[in-house]
Amino acid sequence: MKLRILLFSLALFSSIPCFSFEGESGIRIYDLRTEMLNNPEGINALNPRLSWKIAGESRGLHQIAYRILVASSAEKLASDTADLWDSGKQNSSETNGIQYRGKNLQSSQDVYWKVKVWTSNSEDTWSTASHWSMGLLYFKDWKGRWIGMDSLTPSDRDEKFSKLSARYFRKTYQLPKQIKRAKAYIIGLGLYELYINGEKIGDHVLAPAPTDYSKNILYNTFDVTDALHTGENTIGTILGNGRYYTMRQDYKPYKIKDFGYPKMLLNVLVEYTDGSSEVLRTDNSWKMTAEGPIRSNNEYDGEHYDARKEMPGWSTPTFDDSSWTNALYVLAPSGNIEAQMTEYMKVVETIKPISITPLKPDTYILDMGQNMVGWLKLKVKGSKGDQIKLRFAEVLNKDGSLNVDNLRDAKSTDVYILKGGEEETWEPSFIYHGFRYVEISGFPNTPTLENFKGRVVNDALEESGTFETSNPIINQVYKNAYWGIRGNYKGMPIDCPQRNERQPWLGDRPTSAYGESFIFDNQKLYSKWLDDIRYSQKSDGAIADVAPAFWMYYSDNMTWPGTYLMIADMIHRQFGTVAPIQDHYPHMKKWLVYMRERYMDENYILTKDSYGDWVAPPATIEEGRGMTGNVKHPSKIISTAYHYYFLQLMSKFAALTENHNDISEYQQLALKVKKAFNQHYFNKDKNSYGSLTENILAIEFDLVPEPKKTEVFNRIIHQITKENNGHLNTGVIGTQWIMRCLTENGRADLAYTLATSTSYPSWGYMVENGATTIWELWNGNTAAPNMNSYNHVMLLGDLIIWYYENLAGIKSKKPGFKEIQMNPIMVNELNYVNASYNSIHGPIVSRWKKNNKKFIWEIRIPPNTSAEVYFPTKDLKNIKENGKPIAKIDGIELKEVKGNRVHLKLVSGNYILSSEL
């Protein structure tokens, strides 16, 4: 059958719930993936993992067997000649991460594959063909030499506020024969743009993804067959600075890593129709110049572009490069060469500004209407030499001027100098900004909204979830989270996009990443981040607080480096793959041993913590006025609680990786830690461990002795309702667990109160005060500016998880949603929830609504899965499916009636369940 991608959509922020399912007949196999890539060019894995999805409307549809064919050509695959691998018929329901086990694959090899599945409805179906190509698998496969220029030009500055112009390279080749296939393999550090015959290759930006270049560097692969032709061809590249040439040169060298000047290595493998081939490679016959229009590019400070220095046709054969010099050989970076296995960064959206306001003569304030991450594209007509300055910020002062206090010393300014004459358009190449407002000065005439477009830039991850409720505060917080999360995806998860930091702090993401996975397919991004964390590990086991370790912070604490374990667990839970745990288990174990040997005392208390419950809110908004959020309160109770939690995770990981001898060691130590935790920290008179965060951790990590759980939870309720007047007072640590803690222990109503509050401190308070992303601080509107980002995600905690798993009722009961738990909470104030999540098996949908007379719940369960469904009624006879009693419906099994819920098991399919209220 013909391959067809299943199209599924649900309005993200529609005003009313939409109840309808798209129908389709027959069985489809779709979304074939190789190594979980959306662009499977240049795979470095010798045994890639293959995945697919099944679609069909038959209830209970599931795979009972599969057969994979892998061939060296499309023609062989079409004739079912699997010269590389024939898996044979495998009696298995598995569709995710099947490891290739065929013949050894070679560098640059093209590979074609398809899968046949046998299903429960007696159908067997072939997918259409899919393809991947191998990368350059070995160091010696790379030909040529690294080229660059390890020095400054007269216009460059090597200092705190560095200024380094972009380097341009070009080389013309004579290709004498008809071309069959051509692939380009490029490492351009820090960032590159690749051109062939005057055309940019690819629609990506800011490539490659950043790494600690002393440990590993990433290359990208492109099929450039259509860009080349018989005869003369010119390859051109532009190198920007990125994270390679440090943004604060000669500033705090003890803290900030410096890797050197931009450099590149490029191979283009050209195959001819007569069977011959050649490799076009970088060497010192290439020409270069640093006198192009990009005069400086610095992630913190912006890009300076002088259009008067443009070089029309610079990457075409007819260009005169006689004024250019020969490229220089430079020392190769020390990091391992690896293929980039994550999505590229791209311009994912273009938005229009909502207003432009005069501030003073020749100065205007542009409002994008949304705190966004990316840059401006401008359109202008003026005289040669006119200089436009664009300065970016998140907020305004009371007088309407730009407030840049929270940027620290980041200049966040772009400069464009006109060449004059006709209308000009421009957008930067090697920087990005976090901003809502732009101060525009030097515009040659009166600027209008039509002169500017906002270009939204982030990793081009597939959006995997939609979510909407009847509560506008929840919807706006969700939208704010959406903008904040994607804006901080920059080849790694960064903390903020605007000030002179933009670092991948581990402590920001341990639980946030879990929630993010419902909105974006972030498996590849976070798998790459696990590698970054591993590369940050010292030989003794210590792990950095920031990874890649651009900043040399090794503070040794449980909560920040422990993110390593929590991210691996999230990937296993949400995406059903154990590979990251297998790959990283030895390094996780090494870190935990390091922490235990160095910081666990004779009483089994883990004595080292660095940050405590980071950014807990001041008691009142006024009390926090002018206060810095950069205050650390180290806590042994937090580090000891997390030690116990991580021992539980490691016990689970040991079982998954068949390190069975480790399990008893973890479990025995955990018992000792739990006993010590209660002996040292439990106050029997108050039935409390201390703060709200400390009590939440004790409950959530199962540290509380069974007879005392009710009393401790009651203490949590008292702290929220009485001591905090119905508010949380948790920082980063407590907020990661608070919503689930309340809900799992019977107080979903109080969780809902926190989720919908608009008074300080709350997510709704941010919304009420104009936020369009998530603030770094609960009191972001009154705090001191030195640590006060208006686009952070760390305070989301487990809120997004709660939205999907508890409000919508979409939760993975078995890894990868092989079995789904659907148990939405019911709160009186909420009338409907519309949610979807595109799991590795296909779309899961939960749409429920209630009114005074009826409750309706529409459910989609993807093929090859089942769901444990908890219907909110105690009257089994009251439940109908499409108007019929469920006892007469195939695919619905009654498990039990317990309290106000009827527990059902549903096979895959679409359902409309209803009951009278």
Q: Give the DSSP H or E segment for 223.
A: strand 216-223
744 tagged catalytic: no
Measured distance CA(497)–CA(444) in Å, rounded:
30
- 776, 805, 858, 881: the active-site residue: 776
Measured distance CA(876)–CA(882) in Å, rounded:
15
Burial of 367 (0-12, 13-18, 19+ CB in 10 A): middle
513-to-36, 464, 738, 817, 839 alpha-carbon distances in Å:
18, 14, 16, 17, 16
Question: Which residues 6+ apart lie within 8 Å of 484 measured at CB?
Answer: 371, 773, 774, 791, 792, 793, 796
Other Cβ atoms less than 10 A from the Cβ of 104: the count is 9
- Angle, helices 748-756/472-487, rounded to nearest 10 degrees: 70
Measured distance CA(341)–CA(521) in Å, rounded:
14
Measured distance CA(861)–CA(60) in Å, rounded:
9
Question: Which residues 6+ apart lie within 8 Å of 412 measured at CB?
Answer: 300, 301, 302, 391, 392, 393, 404, 433, 435, 498
Measured distance CA(393)–CA(135) in Å, rounded:
41
- Provide the total of helices (H) and of strands (E) in the chain, helices listed first: 15, 44
- 501, 516, 805, 858: the active-site residue: 501
Measured distance CA(201)–CA(205) in Å, rounded:
11
The closest of 49, 61, 10, 56 to 29, measured between CA atoms, is 56
776 tagged catalytic: yes
Q: What are residue 304's DSSP bridge partners?
A: 296, 415
Question: Which residues 6+ apart lie within 8 Å of 786 measured at CB?
Answer: 406, 408, 628, 630
Measured distance CA(264)–CA(433) in Å, rounded:
25
Assess contact for 811 and 821: CB atoms under 8 A. Answer: yes
Question: Which residues 6+ apart lie within 8 Å of 475 measured at CB?
Answer: 13, 468, 469
Assess contact for 674 and 682: CB atoms under 8 A. Answer: no
523, amino acid identity: Q
Q: C-alpha 824: how far from its chain's center?
A: 26
Which residues does the annotation mark as catalytic?
501, 776
